[in-house]
């Protein structure tokens, strides 16, 4: 369907089945988190994940990714997600979620980290588009992020958290990758839909071209 082609970036930057590596070693892969975690994901010492928020939402993403299979239980999905986070064991982890499963995600985060907190947030900068960002860590620290839009939280995390490599298990069009790149930081990530993930490569290539052009003309 044309409306789920995300500007056709996948035609200009096609992704195969294996990992795709950027110049700085940042690595991404088209991947379903129900399958075993790619080894490169374990290099992340910070995670931000914005997974589907409920069963209807996840199956819409499967449909958009042209998958014929469907997920039958959201609990199975989020337990798998937190299982992958446990495998990676980042020092700090952020997960975004809607109200419906906020309590479930907080409980999962509490199993992994000594300190868990959550922030009221919004998406698409819409006052009525409410969501939550949960933070887990073994050190007592609570950055003041309450009330910020998730995009601004992502920007803040990528430029202010102390990390070497940020990971995202459900990258989508790659806000995490793009913001890490802008901060000269490495990132790793997986995403179900190759068409969505190609958008990240195109965004980074576009920013690189602008930077190179400025260097030539200055
Ligand atoms: C809310 S979006 C993430 C948006 C992202 N923050 C961005 O910058 O575009 C959730 C993403 O999870 C992906 N997803 C859904 N099920 C998945 C699965 N089983 N494994 C990996 N990714 C999945 C969807 O395709 C979708 O791109």
pLDDT digits (tens, 9 = 90+) for 116-155: 999 999 999 999 999 999 999 999 999 999 999 999 999 9
Cβ(200) – ligand 1 distance below 6 Å: no
* 103-131: b (≥16 Cβ within 10 Å) or e: eebbebbeebbeebbbbebbeeeeeeeeb
Domains of the chain by start residue, with CATH:
20-217 (3.40.50.150)
The string of pLDDT tens digits covering residues 55-95 is 999 999 999 999 999 999 999 999 999 999 999 999 999 99
Report the distance separating Cα 182 and Cα 139, nearest Å.
Answer: 27
Q: Rounded to the nearest 5°, which phi and psi values hold at 103?
A: -65, -40
Residue located nearest, by CA, to atom 17 of ligand 1: 192
pTM beyond 0.85: yes
Report the distance separating Cα 124 and Cα 50, nearest Å.
Answer: 13
Task: Tell me the average pLDDT of the chain.
Answer: 96
Among 47, 177, 191, the mutation site with the greatest number of ligand 1 atoms within 8 A of its Cβ is 191
The string of pLDDT tens digits covering residues 144-153 is 999 999 999 9
Token pair 């992958």 is found at 84
């Amino acid at each position: 369907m044309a409306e789920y082609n995300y500007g056709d970036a996948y035609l200009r930057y096609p992704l195969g089945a294996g990992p795709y590596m950027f110049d700085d070693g940042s690595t991404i892969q088209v991947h379903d988190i129900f399958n075993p975690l790619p080894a490169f994901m374990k290099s992340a010492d910070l995670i931000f994940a914005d997974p589907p928020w409920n069963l209807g939402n996840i199956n819409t993403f499967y449909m958009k990714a042209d998958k014929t299979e469907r997920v039958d239980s959201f609990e199975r999905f989020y337990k798998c997600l937190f299982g992958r986070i446990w495998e990676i064991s980042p020092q700090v982890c952020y997960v975004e979620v809607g109200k419906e499963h906020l309590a479930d995600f907080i409980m999962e985060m509490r199993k992994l980290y000594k300190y868990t907190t959550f922030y009221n947030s919004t998406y698409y900068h819409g006052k009525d588009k409410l969501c939550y960002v949960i933070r887990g860590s073994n050190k007592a620290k609570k950055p003041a992020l309450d009330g910020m839009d998730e995009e601004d939280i992502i920007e803040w995390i990528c430029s202010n958290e102390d990390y070497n490599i940020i990971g995202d298990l459900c990258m989508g069009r790659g806000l995490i990758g793009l913001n890490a790149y802008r901060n000269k930081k490495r990132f790793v990530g997986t995403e179900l839909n190759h068409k969505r993930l190609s958008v990240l490569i195109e965004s980074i290539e576009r920013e690189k071209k602008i930077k190179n052009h400025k260097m030539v003309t200055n």
